[in-house]
Homo-oligomer: A and B are copies of this chain.
Amino acid sequence: MDGKTSPLAVKLPELPPLAGVRLGAAEAGIRYRNRTDLVMLELAAGTTVAGVFTSNRCPGAPVDWCRAALRGGQARAVVVNAGNANVFTGRAGRETCAVTAAAAARLAGCAAEQVFVASTGVIGEVLPVDRLTAALPALHAGLRADGWEAAARGIMTTDTFPKAASRVAKIGGVAVRINGIAKGSGMIAPDMATMLCFIATDAKIPAPALDRMLRKGVDTSFNCTTVDSDTSTSDTVLLFATGQAVHPEVPEQGGPLLRDFGAKLHDLLRDLALQVIRDGEGASKLVQIDVTGATSARSAKRIAMAVANSPLVKTAIAGEDANWGRIVMAVGKAGEPADRDKLSVAVGGIWMAKDGGVVPGYDETPVVAHMKGREIRIAVDLGLGRGKATAWTCDLTHGYIDINGSYRS
């Protein structure tokens, strides 16, 4: 972090304590100096957990550990380090996870399988686990209910601002809280834009219901965003329910009782996902792509992501050029059903291309003004069916090349 904050940064929201969660950060000196790089969360007994992870076929050792730990459906602690991803580190990487979990379990008084671990940073370097375990006892002793901001800062790598969100939802008329923190992408010389997100609620929700809501929520938030089309080996979203709130009992598989909670969770996930995009490497503009009229929602999402991932669309946006021809190209290359002669494209709410041709004499003035702003809206209507989806990305600038083309730090 060189102090150059993303122009799209948002202020850290207030993060009130949440019953059943104590957390904090410490300086373990794993890679960085003079900043916190180790975070611990302790969770009340009975906390349920759901998680989603990277689809990358070469995941980091912590992802493997979490996937196995998830089978128990119970969580008592989380340990996160920044600066070393513990990816492609072979047997040493697996041992690091086991040693970390065992050390945290001793402190939290639980089984190692109830400890979740996550790491982001450089790939292929063995993590100095002794520094991590040496720092844990003091970190654990200092955990606090109001440690959310410290945790949000401690998990950052090349992020230029900390990312967090908080919501209140009702379950059977009872208010419960949802807090979440995330990290992802940044300035300087990262090895990879890697995304981590930790969410907790004081609600009492069985693991299967939690899992169902998390998957549904992630599908239209984090999974609809892209900075550079490169899927990290460490992506992790974990959702913990401490069960400290007193509300009507939630059935194993969820149901109508969770309607408001699900909506608020989704809102929080989208908030965090957009904060990550706002901190996209080199980003100067946040871009939303709304696709309608596709043959299915799945098809609409693929088309929206094809536009969001197109280097030609993203560089045009960086150049403040409402280049709808490149949008048409990106729609066509998605491989999804599309009929050139029924396709319409709008930028900033102005339909520029319609029914297979340019809209004659459309007013370019508001479009030019829109392109100069920080938030760009693109709309694509396929004119084929009712499928719709929204994706988010950032523009592709010289900043991205600067960050990723400079030699590894």
- A325 with B123, Cβ < 8 A, contacts A319-B405, A332-B59 known: yes
- For chain A residues 89-122, which have a beta carbon within 8 Å of chain B? 89-93, 122
What 1/0 flags go to A282-312 for Cβ under 8 Å of B?
A: 0000000000000000000000000001111
* Residue among A87, A192, A326 with most chain B CB within 10 A: A326
Nearest B residue (CB) for A406: B319
Within 8 Å by CB of A228, from B231, B311, B331, B338, lies: B311
Q: Is the CB of B408 within 8 A of A230?
A: no
Distance in angstroms between the alpha carbons of A358 and B92 in the assembled complex: 11
Number of copies: 2
- A332 with B231, Cβ < 8 A, contacts A90-B341, A357-B90 known: yes
Please give the distance in Å from A314's CB to the nearest CB on chain B.
9
- A331 with B125, Cβ < 8 A, contacts A312-B187, A316-B404, A397-B401 known: no
Please give the distance in Å from A245's CB to the nearest CB on chain B.
39
Within 8 Å by CB of A321, from B312, B337, B407, lies: B407
Q: Give the segment of A50-58, A163-171, A216-224 that binds chain B.
A: A50-58
Check if A400 is an interface residue, CB within 8 A of chain B: yes
Q: Is the CB of A89 within 8 A of B357?
A: yes
Please give, as numbers and ranges, the residues of chain B lying within 8 Å of A326 by CB-CB distance. 123, 187, 191-192, 230
Please give the distance in Å from A287's CB to the nearest CB on chain B.
14
Please give, as numbers and ranges, the residues of chain B lying within 8 Å of A340 by CB-CB distance. 57-59, 88
Please give the distance in Å from A340's CB to the nearest CB on chain B.
4
Please give the distance in Å from A386's CB to the nearest CB on chain B.
19
**Interface size of A as a range:** 35 or more
Q: Is the CB of A325 within 8 A of B189?
A: no
Q: Is the CB of A230 within 8 A of B319?
A: no
Q: Is the CB of B231 within 8 A of A333?
A: yes
Please give, as numbers and ranges, the residues of chain B lying within 8 Å of A404 by CB-CB distance. 311-312, 315-316, 319
* Residue among A122, A123, A335 with most chain B CB within 10 A: A123
Within 8 Å by CB of A401, from B187, B231, B401, lies: B401
Question: Could you give 16 example pairs across A and B, Cβ below 8 Å?
Answer: A56-B333, A57-B336, A57-B338, A58-B338, A91-B357, A186-B312, A192-B326, A192-B329, A229-B229, A229-B311, A230-B312, A316-B408, A319-B405, A319-B406, A321-B405, A397-B401
Ranked 6 nearest A-B pairs via Cβ: A123-B325, A58-B332, A90-B357, A319-B405, A315-B404, A56-B332
A interface residues with partner B (beta carbon < 8 Å): 55-59, 85, 87-93, 122-125, 186-187, 189, 191-193, 228-233, 309-312, 315-316, 318-321, 323-326, 328-338, 340-341, 343, 353, 355-358, 396-398, 400-401, 404-408
